[in-house]
Amino acid sequence: MSYPHQWRLATATLLLSQLMLVAASLWPRSSCLGANMVRLPAAAVQRREVALTIDDGPDPLVTPQVLAILAQHGVTATFFCIGERAAAQPQLCASMLAAGHRIENHGAHHPTLCSLSGPAGWRREILGGQDMLQRITGKAPHFYRPVAGLRNLFLDPVLHEVGLRQATWTRRGFDTRERDPETVLRRLTHQLGAGDILLLHDGHAAHTPAGEALIVAVLPRLLEAIRAHGLTPVTLVQSCGLS
């Protein structure tokens, strides 16, 4: 005896569950697939803190300019570094640490399709990045950020196994493809408030029509806007009371 109605219902339920998994994996700020830090803790909000996070470096040309701007403003940031890039620029990483910045794990190689990995693939990417960065900096990263914030249901168990926390962002400027500094600045400062985690890129940065890296063009004015809102930039580690 066949049950066409039940089969249709079962098929629809299965398809819906798969669509929900796909949607969760494509939404960087989602917590459906595991813990995901998209804002700073409540205590940091009360202290009116924000976190400036910078991805995909270090870049030998762009990162020194970023460090100079941060130094001028007396601000520390969190750099989510790619392991192989950090290994190629150990002195630059040392300069970042000496200035009080923190280096966190953005994977070993930053593969575009990392979100399609199974448990073994996630382990290779995360543990590889963790080992490289700890060797270079002498500090074990506390946080991991997946490529473009994309992941799947296999990521959270690996992070739990390694002892890392996933951190994405509250708002981003899309500065890897947007060439207009005004647009990037507007995206980052719209409804800017305490507890926000902001995302920029020193690696894979887009450039203005004049040839300047977007982060270099935007960062001074972003820091001024943060100050004008009565906010204090801190690292993710500082916001969470970690060492």
- CA distance linking residue 39 with residue 147, whole number of Å: 18
pTM (two decimals): 0.89
Taking only the tens place, the pLDDT of each residue in 82-107 is: 999 999 999 999 999 999 999 999 99
Query: What is residue 109's predicted lDDT score, i.e. its pLDDT?
Result: 97
Query: What is residue 12's predicted lDDT score, i.e. its pLDDT?
Result: 43
Taking only the tens place, the pLDDT of each residue in 42-87 is: 999 999 999 999 999 999 999 999 999 999 999 999 999 999 999 9
Under CATH, what is the fold of the domain 4-240? Answer: TIM Barrel (3.20.20)
201 is catalytic: yes
In this structure, are residues 108 and 82 in contact, taking their beta carbons and an 8 Å threshold? yes
Average pLDDT over residues 128-141: 97
Q: Give rounded-to-5 percent helix, strand, coil for the chain.
A: 50, 15, 35
142 is catalytic: no
Q: Which one of the listed residues 101, 106, 110, 201 is annotated catalytic?
A: 201
Where is average pLDDT lowest: 27-31, 54-58, 191-195, 200-204?
27-31
Residue 104's DSSP bridge partners are 80
Taking only the tens place, the pLDDT of each residue in 115-132 is: 889 999 999 999 999 999
Q: Where are the domains of the chain?
A: 4-240
Q: Which one of the listed residues 55, 175, 196, 202 is annotated catalytic?
A: 55
